[in-house]
Amino acid sequence: MPKRRVVLTGVGAITPVGNNIPDFWDAVVTGKTGVRLLTAFDCSGFNSHIAAEVKNFDALRYMTSKQDKRLDLFVKFALAAAKIAFEDSGLDSNKMERERIGVYMGSGIGGLHTIEEEHIKYMKTDPAKAPSKISPFLIPMLIVNMASGIVSIELGLKGPNSCAVTACATASNSIGDAFKILQRGDADVMFAGGSEAATTPMGFGGFCALKALSTRNDNPEKASRPFDRDRDGFIMGEGASVVVLEELEHARKRGARIYCEMMGYGMSSDAYHMTAPDPTGDGAVRCMTAALKDAELNAEDVDYINAHGTSTQLNDKMETGAIKRVFGDRAKKIPVSSTKGVTGHLLGATGGAELIACMKAIENQVVPPTINYETPDPECDLDYVPNTARETKVDVVISNSLGFGGHNVTLAIKKFVG
């Protein structure tokens, strides 16, 4: 049977550069970074003092005060982004066939705020009384699937409901899996993406211990510099990203606005190391190749690549090499950029935010820049659209997401043509 066509009809995001899509896109395309000195807690003892934190988030705009007390921050972000996407999609809650609408949302880490707060409370209590001080909401607040579960409950969506947990590939995995659910006919609409809120002493401290974060503490706005020779680590971010994917005829029937068409989904494993990417780029090569094959596209069709581009020495060099292997002589002619200089690295939410940026690139026919690109690296020698957005033809885009554990995901989207 032919695969059903799937289109993107709604988007929502909570990010360090805006809690709505217009603000998010304006920052991404103009290069206004959300990276600052960390304010959530005293990080003076850590080697990095920099993060990309969500600002001015009012949970009560999206939920009741009771829910605000009973949900971890990553679930609050997810619910907010999903409600924004729901409104953007134009779905009518009175006309929805709820059994045919599902949710696929994940998180790389889950409810770390809750875990730390409850553990501190436990350790400060008389051992004889400590068990009674554990919140009955501890487990449902911390488990990763609760983002997807709460979105389903709050929006009344009774179709397929699941989540991916693949580190920084999580949102892209969730979107790709939702895409396949729609293609095979198991649902007509899917809300998909990821959420992360792990900027806590233990979460931040853990990445510091890995020496994965930038220590450019005297100039935080310049700290995230993908593909630049002087890059020294990524910037921990937080937020949520949700896209509404819809079977084409279902979208047409209700007169939905169509942003773009989902075309392909590739995934692979490095099978190499817990945290380091395979330096040969083998996993990323196979992943991009699989996405193009699934989309029935050729390498010559791609107009823009949104790179994972973390601003780490290992990732950026490896991803550059992988792109060159997939696209051959044409690699240096394709605009490649990373938006993480603006947003920081949203971990489990990053792939969805970057797919939204790709959709906006197609909509506006403009490629967002890689900011803070100042000193070329001989081992990173592609066209990274340095510092300034570029107006150009953008009809076919691929977006890469790579995660600890060797997880690789590539999504392919295309300008919608009826």
- What amino acid positions are annotated as catalytic residues? 168, 308, 345
Q: Residue 154's Cα: distance from chain center in Å?
A: 22
Handedness of CA 204, 240, 334, 406 (dihedral sign): positive
Rounded to an integer, what distance in angstroms lies between the CA atom of residue 273 and that of residue 311?
19
CA-nearest of 311, 293, 312 to 301 is 293
β strands within 159-270, DSSP E: 161-162, 189-196, 239-247, 260-269
Concatenating the DSSP letter of every residue in 278-295 gives PTT-HHHHHHHHHHHHHH
Are residues 77 and 54 in contact, defined by beta-carbon separation less than 8 angstroms?
Answer: yes
Give Cβ neighbours of residue 46 (< 8 Å, ≥ 6 apart): 204, 205, 208
Residue 248 Cα distances to 125, 158, 165, 417, angstroms: 56, 20, 28, 11
